[in-house]
Chains A and B, each alone.
Chain A
Amino acid sequence: MSDLLTPLDRFLREQQDLTPVERFAQRHAADQLSDSQLGDTLPRYRDLLPGAGPGPGEQYAFDVDLDACSGCKACVSACHSLNGLDEAETWRSVGLLHGLDPVAPQLQTVTTACHHCVDPACLNGCPVDAYEKDPITGIVAHLDDQCIGCQYCTLMCPYEVPVYDAGRGIVRKCDLCRDRLNVGEAPACVQGCPTDAISVTVVSTLELVAQARASTASRPTTLVPTAPDSSITVPSTRYRSARPLASSMVAGDQYSLQPAHGHTPLAVMLVLTQLAVGTAALALVLGDRITVARSWSVAVTLLVGVVALGASVGHLGRPWYAWRAVLGVGHSWLSREIVAFGVFAGLTALDAAATAAGTRLPAWLAPVLADAVVAAGVVGVVCSVLIYAATRRRWWRAPRTGALFGASALVTGGATLLAVSVASAAGAGGLVGARGAVRPLVGLVVVASLLKLVLELSVLRHRHLPSEDRALEPAAMELHRTARLLSGDLAPQLSRRVIAGVFGGVILPLVLLAAASSATPTVPAIVMLALASPALIVVAELTERRLFFLAMSGPRMPGVLR
């Protein structure tokens, strides 16, 4: 038969014919070599595993001999191949530290994976309890089927360990190859390291906590120079070197500026919840002055609140499991925020129903509901602030984030209420009904807008390289990268935010005030101004909130130049 084929046909056919397995004599015959014999075939791994498992007050940990690490990065590939990760998924990475001292130039590669922290931020932040820290081994494992894809852990972990996969809608991470350890096999990275630089040891959690507690802002305890402050999560990995690394070393990616994820649905959710809460709160505070607008403001609050919750659910990788978010209410600010805004939305709906029912309900109900709505909303916004503050990222610290979100509520709520007042008054035949509201609301919006802009732009003062002593502080580097991002790649967005904010929050309200104060106000023009102002403000705030995420440059382990 084959004689009848042309050489071309023969070669093409051969190319599709994989060499029969039978010809692979050598290893095929070795399949009798059972896995229980593995310890005998690979004795060298035995020295890289602890002799006994952890006792009370102890846990497993990675141990990295920095002097043995030569930067070949086989650990990353071995983990990838032996754990069957996706094509572009990696659970370990290798970064670079280098010195700037020409007299004694230093170079150190640093391999890093999950540090199986004593106080894991991923676990603490998870709203659905999709993380568990094994009480015996200390391994921090992720329950892939429990995850709803909120990605909060990717913000909580200072070491960039959990990575979100949009295809599956979940994050995945290193589990220290716990089932390999269970049967006495070495984790993939340990097997993969040609120079035995990675091993698994047993460490004392109390000692780790004591070391981490010794951390101060000016002298942070870190795993290696430029790494995140260990007091955040008490990481368990031990990095050893006989040649101490100068604290002045810089990371390969220390000055790399890459915008982070924009999290648009979260930006929408944050701005709109703050708008809703601000509108409700100001309506309550201004009380009688805006009686005409009362029903309108409740309706707007409800509508906006529902859109915001929709955005937050849409942000999830697996939204149909959103209900699980109540599970973490004991420890997760994200769970608490979801509960608070759930209550807020429910009460607002009741409030709207009560307002519609009007006089048929008892008189005491309306004020109680209004108070409760605002209380729930304020609790929700406070939770929002603490969600980001809890990440311990310098730019998201509680005072700044609190001022940012609070000012957002005032600006968006004030402008919305102004629009509602003016529009509802105009609908009732003139501006008389809104007269009492215009002046205080314009004043509030203008002042809050300006103060908020000052707060936002103040970070730009960090765009110059930190002085040498401050460059050692990871926090100073975080703000420096944020400022350089905002004045670099993100500058166009920042400009848009400023222009929209100044027009919507300052110029239009002032023009409106002037027009409304005139002897013969032109009602349609004033209504247009009143509607345009919150629209522009919302655009500005959404841009600001996306920048809140995009310009975040959190702490991280040393990486390679990007």
Chain B
Amino acid sequence: MTRRGLRGALRASDGPLTDELTRTPGGFGLGQVPASRAPDAVTTMVCGFCSTGCALDVHLRDGEAVNLTPSAEYPVNRGSACPKGWEALAPLSAPDRATSPMVRQRGGSLQPVDWPEALALFTERFQAIQAAHGADSVAFLSTGQIPTEEMALLGAVAKFGMGMVHGDGNTRQCMATSVVAHKESFGFDAPPYTYADLEESDVIVLVGSNLCIAHPILWERIARNSHHPEIIVVDPRVTETAAAATQHYGARPKTDLTLLYGLAHLLIERGAIDRPFIAEHTSGYEAFADHVAAFGPDRVAAETGLTLDQLERFAATIAAGERVSFWWTMGVNQSHQGVRTAQAIIDLALLTGSIGRPGTGANSITGQCNAMGSRLFSNTTNLFGGRDFTNPAHRAEVAGVLGIGVERIPDRPSLAYDQIIEGIHRGTIHGLWIVATNSAHSWINQTEIRDLLGRLDFLVVQDLYTTTETAELADLVLPAAGWGEKDGTFINSERRIGRIRRVRRAPGHALTDFAIVKLIADAWGCGEPFRQWDSPEEVFRILARLSAGRPCDFSGIESYAQLDDGGLQWPYPAGSPTDGPAARGGPERRLFADGEFFTPDGRARFVVEEPVAERERPSPRYPLSLLTGRGSSAQWHTGTRTSKSAVLRALAPDVAYVEIAPADAGPLGIQASDEVLVESARGSVHARALVTATVPAGHVFVPMHDAATNRLTFPAFDPLSRQPSYKTGAVAVRLLHSWEH
């Protein structure tokens, strides 16, 4: 035997440990997959985290999901997903899943009970509260994280069956501002774009949007833009997106409204506006032009902190663009003047005729996976199908489609989220039913809401886990099945309706939200009007009928099967082709190509208002401005699910941290990695200092995912949308002594 041969014999190049990592052709066009998880079937469903709405190919063995990969052919994501999507199955196996209903005992602990007992308790307690304080003293908080069919059933049973009046769609926290802006400017809550616009633009303006982190797959679409677009980011921080952009404007927080008016001023001054479009398809231009006349560059430069040269370059870039698209996210929506800021973005698009054509648009990027479904069908702020509770004709339409008495439909609008919480304080709300949202973590000014939730006569939380900050305050926890354990549809940012499916068994006695609401309706004694709401697909057909004649009409979709091939964007009215490529009207469709808007006169409206200052400004006691936002692409909101994945945990900092500029850290004696205390007038947070120049001097940034962050935030709200202004507040930072750690 040669020396090499001998050594070879002494080296185990295969064996059981080697086999564990064997890869094998997976079939189904997947390429190689881990042999231990090779599928016997594959199905496609939409991801359940954000509103991008990527499709995932779920790998099945005996019908059960064992792995997943991003769908290569879906028009949204084309083979890519962010880490949350890749890890979407992991949170389903967490050990703290709720597996049976749990009731709070006198001692404070939660004890399991069976479903009949839980349903009886739910009914008895809420009915007693309603008997004592009126039907409207029990309210519900819905969510953007469950399928449209489930949230529609919830909204229908709560309002038309149980007599509730007040419910909030929870998208209050992310999209309410856009909804209000769209309704007033376009005549309907209708994001006009399709994702292909990101690939068609030659100028892309991102306002208050850290797309790389918040919507990585939309950034992918920009990366595929072959027109070498100018990418402009307006953000106080040097975010990942700002770093990747071609132009970054670090305007001071909450001065974006002034900046946008200033840009309009410069564009009008240059004559870089689309006069024919303005004349034919808009209203309110004269008042708009008068208004922005007062926003000359000197004033705007002084208020935003940008230079005159920067303003000139920004305006010149828009003026030079053939296909300019404007995009915004939470930096705009979560503001004390968010609606007007969003409308100022729409104004710019109208001014330059940048709407209805490929690569254009004033485009609000949505947050939660089914915020768009919630906006149309949660039956909270709006009546089904974007209708108005106060409109008798609308109530009659809905009663007719549903076959229920019109008197069951409340004739007054719901209180908004913050007003429901305030109602607890004022003694008008005594019972609350929270479904798939984590208010005790995510709501602004957290100390107050935790106190108020504790004061309720009865709090029901319906969620996957017994360990959410909100479930820990509940009197009754109802165990829900999660994404992957239920059927239904989501609507994504570009109005695309996509399928989710049941590919895992829910643990223990957890049930779908659909089943839970059905059981509650029966226990309550109001199940009869909802007999036809028998399955998610039946509900989908009901919703399609409710959408008929509305701008969101998708009555042309008669079954889930039609959604299997890439989903369908609304509108898709009856009579649309049902088969072949034409069925989709092409894979990507945008609104307003004909210049016709949903307003009564068919014209889009210019809307303006004088900017106002934030209510809480830095002071000698709290000298720094607080910024909050998404910290990493691996974390989703309150971390209810993403914190359950070991991989996602590894991808994000595992400590609470605060980004602080070197210029602020130095005088405070703060070195990198020091433990510091961030204090506002409302609370304080322990954090580790990340000293970085990516946050401007005078500001600090705290990621929103940490449960303590909302102790700091200041409860300001947009007066029109009632959306909280999360990204503001005044704080102080100081070094913690070693004994305080």
Contact = CB atoms under 8 A, between A and B. Distances in A.
A8 B519 contact: yes
Contact of B502 (A19, A28, A465): A19
Interface of B: 7, 10-18, 20-21, 23, 25-37, 41-44, 57, 60, 62-64, 67-69, 72-73, 77, 79-83, 85-87, 90, 115-116, 212-213, 216-217, 219-220, 223, 238-244, 481, 485, 487, 501-506, 509-512, 515, 518-519, 522, 561, 564-565, 632-634, 646-648, 650-655, 657, 661-663, 671-673, 688, 690-694, 696-697
A3 interface: no
B63 A18 contact: yes
A311 interface: no
B650 to A, nearest CB: 6
Interface residues of A, number: 89
A561 interface: yes
A561 B63 contact: no
B650 A90 contact: yes
A247 to B, nearest CB: 15
Question: B15, B651, B661 — which one has the most chain A CB atoms within 10 A of its CB?
Answer: B651
A24 interface: yes
Contacts of A33: 27-29
B520 to A, nearest CB: 11
Interface of A: 7-8, 11-12, 14-16, 18-21, 24-28, 30-31, 33-35, 37-38, 41-42, 44, 67-68, 70-74, 76-78, 80-84, 87-88, 90, 93-94, 98-102, 105-109, 129-130, 143-147, 168, 170, 172, 177, 179-180, 183, 185, 191-196, 250, 252, 254-257, 324, 327, 465, 560-562
A18 B92 CA distance: 15
B519 A144 contact: no
Contact of B692 (A21, A98, A168): A98
Contact of A70 (B43, B241, B504): B241
A130 B35 CA distance: 23
6 contacts: A24-B41, A71-B212, A73-B634, A107-B242, A324-B10, A562-B653
B28 A15 contact: no
Contacts of A35: 25-27, 29-32
B83 A144 contact: no
Contacts of B31: 35, 38, 42, 180, 185, 191
Contacts of B81: 74, 77, 192, 194
A68 B220 CA distance: 10
A11 B18 contact: no
Contacts of B64: 18
A143 B37 contact: no
Contacts of B67: 81, 84
Contact of B12 (A7, A88, A146, A180): A146
B481 A15 contact: yes
Contacts of B509: 12
A17 to B, nearest CB: 8
A327 B13 CA distance: 15
Given A84-B23, A101-B693, 4 more contacts: A106-B238, A145-B15, A191-B31, A194-B82
Contacts of A101: 693
Nearest to A488: B738
Given A35-B29, A560-B652, A15 B512 contact: yes
A71 B213 contact: yes
B661 A102 contact: yes
Contact of A82 (B13, B34, B503, B653): B34
A106 B243 contact: yes
Given A38-B31, A81-B68, A129 B42 contact: no
A222 B37 CA distance: 38
B703 to A, nearest CB: 10
A179 B24 CA distance: 9
B476 to A, nearest CB: 16
Given A168-B17, A195-B223, A88 B216 contact: no
A93 B87 CA distance: 15
A252 B10 CA distance: 43
Nearest to A481: B673
Which 7 residue pairs spanning A and B have beta carbons closest together?
Answer: A84-B34, A145-B15, A77-B86, A72-B216, A194-B220, A88-B646, A11-B515
Contacts of A562: 653-655
Contacts of A560: 632, 651-653
B116 A77 contact: no
